[in-house]
Chains A and B, each alone.
Chain A
Amino acid sequence: MNSIMTHGLAAQAEVHQVVRDASGLISSTWLLIAFPLLGAAVLLLGGRRLDKTGHLIGTAASCLSFVMAVALFVAMLGESGDARAFNVPLWEWFNAAGYQVEVGLLLDQLSMAFVLLITGVGSLIHVYSIGYMEHDERRRRFFGYLNLFVAAMLLLVLASDYLILFIGWEGVGLASYLLIGFWQHKPSAAVAAKKAFVVNRVGDMGMVLAIASMIVVFGSSSFELVFAGAGDAPTSWLNALGLLLLLAACGKSAQFPLQSWLLDAMEGPTPVSALIHAATMVTAGVYLVVRSAAIYDLAPEARTAVVLVGTITLLMGAIIGCAKDDIKKALAGSTMSQIGYMMLAAGLGPAGYAFAIFHLITHGFFKANMFLGAGSVMHGMNDEVNMRRFGGLRAAMPVTFLTFALGYLAIIGIPPFAGYFSKDKIIEAAFADNILIGLCALIGAGITAFYMTRVMLMTFLTSKRWAEDVHPHESPRVMTWPLIGLAALSLVGGAALLYVGGGIVEWLEPVTGEEHHDLPLPVAALIAITLVVVVAGVAVAWLLYGRRPVPVEAPAGNPLTVAARRDLYGDAVNEAVLMRPGQYLTRSLVYVENRGVDGAVIGAAKAVGGLSARWRRWQTGFVRSYALTMLTGAGLVVVAMLLVRLP
């Protein structure tokens, strides 16, 4: 890890590009957010009269946003390479005691990449949802939530101030909560939504503290001032900021130790899982780390923590993905693992930022593709999610099978599919940085190959293990066309992003900087080793699941399998470490409250009441008794005076 430490000085030298004020088309960037926000408002406030057309309005809003994004992209391409960052000021939010918050958008290469991913994949998933949610009577509301999510996510990636970013950050959290719990009649969905919300609060606390620290250290939370001041700030503050931002990223991106909510979040409708919990929202943590590059560049300890978190999560997610029989949960484990790769890359500093974003985008393609494929399978199998009940679906759903297979090849990293390019770059960067981290990434790739092959075999190949009343059929075109689109992107997206017009690395270079390391062994050798590991993973999976019949009931399995089935005891740990002590604490507090505080108060009241009841007897109500008391008292006063006066 020593080499990571040394990055700091190198990164300091790098020059960030100048941010210009926007003009022309780019000054209308706010329309990106306005379209889906308006759509959400119309759909959620419009009421039942929009039930018939709601899905079209929602899809149109998303597609308009995508068109706008493409237009902006073209406009941006027209500028020279280091002059593609634009500041779009909107209005001053508040100016309190020197702390000024400007509502404004920052459109640069990084946010542009995210905008295209969000609006592009988002629009495809909107189209897909038209078919998937056709029979749901609350479809209008679903599209309203989706539009709300798109608007919030765009605000998140376009904000030019951490405080504005935080609004989008909470907005996607809200949308995620609403959509995970969309089928709120299922207790499991309601609980899962609550769990996601609560776990995210932990991360949000990190975000809030980070913003507060920025105000203390830099007197501002805007990107411009924070990044400009980062060079002069003490390293301890920068490390603290980096760790707090990492905590926020862990919450949103389901990284260790806040990973537990993502698997349960699969209770939501599958398009939600594809859009929010695979392609976009869960990658917001990666965005946050990359966006805060100026801070992480100067905070080596925090960056080490990012690498560690990413590495642990990529292995954990992969292991969990191996044991899950629920197709969506297997894919969710895979998502965790892949985001772990991104975090790992982001933690490598300028050497890895671009690859993190690269993998993020390709992952957005193929993971959305596979989630939608899984949704298509469920659609044809009466919402069955247990892979042990699938098998042999290749013939029944050819389009789904083929698109899913392309996604599969992409994720395990077979050239020339998308995942090969992005993941291979991360493994390279990891090896260049530290052999141990590199080995972990390499093992992760092997496990990825194993569990994805397992999913593939159990779902589409092998023998049929369907339930009796299930009649699998191919999904309607409105669902298959998005699949095809995403599959195409999974096929060519990687190569295109890496090579067309200089590629994403050059595109992002003005934002993230660039750095090269010497590999301890030749690149070709590393590629070969990676491929061998991947093929070994595929082979093991085929030996275990392809050659032998898959039992319908899950076998007992070894301890590792059992642990993986239980999410590597993530929930158990949370329960034992946080929930139970918290419960004991609250119960003991309640006890103290009831017996101690209330007891004291009620006891005092009772004592006063009892004494009063006794003393009340003195009050006979007879004025003559009172007169007697007065006379006696007056006599006693005289006696007292005499006693004092007498020597």
Chain B
Amino acid sequence: MSPTPYLVLATLLFTIGGAGVLLRRNALVAFMSVELMLNAANLAFVTFARMHGNLDGQIMAFFVMVIAAAEVVVGLAIIVMIFRTRRSASVDDASLLKL
């Protein structure tokens, strides 16, 4: 099967994830959208691995997953901290660096 449908699917998922980041104020949803974008990228990796007939793409996808796990741990900790101090999980409320 041609890789093109997989890549189009990856593109769609990626942009939908991007839209989630842009549109949702809830930090958790935005964060999940980021995970969706990572998954879309992984799909592209795996597709290309198969297309080229080697496993490097799969390895890369594997590392992306591990890094995503680490990122989620730290990111969720940060969200919990922000929620504790500001009583809000909205990313718009965390705009203190602006005057």
Contact = CB atoms under 8 A, between A and B. Distances in A.
Contact of A620 (B23, B95, B96): B95
Interface string B85-98: 00000011011111
Contacts of A628: 22
Interface in A600-625: 616, 619-624
B91 A621 contact: no
A624 B23 CA distance: 8
Nearest to A627: B21
A264 B30 CA distance: 88
A627 B25 CA distance: 12
B75 interface: no
Contacts of A616: 99
B92 A622 contact: yes
A622 B99 contact: no
B95 A621 contact: yes
A631 B97 CA distance: 21
A623 B22 contact: no
B98 A623 contact: no
Contact of A631 (B18, B94, B95): B18
Contacts of A619: 98
Interface in B56-99: 91-92, 94-99
B38 to A, nearest CB: 15
Chain B contact residues, majority secondary structure? loop
Contacts of B94: 623
A621 B98 CA distance: 5
Contact of A621 (B18, B21, B30, B97): B97
A622 B23 CA distance: 12
B7 to A, nearest CB: 14
**Which range holds the interface residue count of chain A?**
10 to 19
Contacts of A631: 18, 22
Contacts of B92: 622-624
Contacts of B99: 616
Interface in A580-618: 616
A623 B91 contact: yes
Interface residues of B, number: 14
Nearest to B99: A616
Contacts of A620: 95, 98
Nearest to B92: A622
Contact of A624 (B91, B97, B98): B91
Interface string B34-46: 0000000000000
Contacts of B96: 621
Contacts of B97: 621
A2 B75 CA distance: 101
Interface string A616-645: 100111111001100100000000000000
A619 B95 CA distance: 10
B22 A627 contact: yes
B6 to A, nearest CB: 19
Contacts of B25: 624
Contact of A623 (B18, B23, B95): B95
Contacts of B21: 624, 627
A277 B65 CA distance: 97
A621 B97 CA distance: 6
Contacts of B18: 627, 631
A174 B96 CA distance: 65
Interface in B1-53: 18, 21-23, 25, 30
A331 to B, nearest CB: 76
Contacts of B22: 624, 627-628, 631
A627 B94 CA distance: 14
Contacts of B91: 622-624
A616 B94 CA distance: 17
B37 to A, nearest CB: 10
Contacts of A624: 21-23, 25, 30, 91-92
Nearest to B97: A621
A181 to B, nearest CB: 58
B26 to A, nearest CB: 11
A517 B68 CA distance: 111
Nearest to B27: A623
B20 to A, nearest CB: 10
A51 B98 CA distance: 71
A616 B18 CA distance: 25
A628 B23 CA distance: 10
A619 B97 CA distance: 9
Nearest to A624: B22
A620 to B, nearest CB: 6
Contacts of A627: 18, 21-22
A516 B30 CA distance: 112
Nearest to B34: A627
Contacts of A621: 95-98
A623 B24 CA distance: 11
Nearest to B18: A631
A543 to B, nearest CB: 92
B16 to A, nearest CB: 12
Given A622-B91, A622-B95, 12 more contacts: A621-B96, A622-B92, A623-B92, A623-B95, A624-B21, A624-B25, A624-B92, A627-B21, A627-B22, A628-B22, A631-B18, A631-B22
21 contacts: A619-B98, A620-B98, A621-B95, A621-B96, A621-B97, A621-B98, A622-B91, A622-B92, A622-B95, A623-B91, A623-B95, A624-B21, A624-B22, A624-B23, A624-B25, A624-B91, A624-B92, A627-B18, A628-B22, A631-B18, A631-B22
Interface of A: 616, 619-624, 627-628, 631
Closest 8 CB pairs of A and B: A621-B98, A621-B95, A623-B91, A627-B21, A628-B22, A631-B18, A622-B92, A622-B95
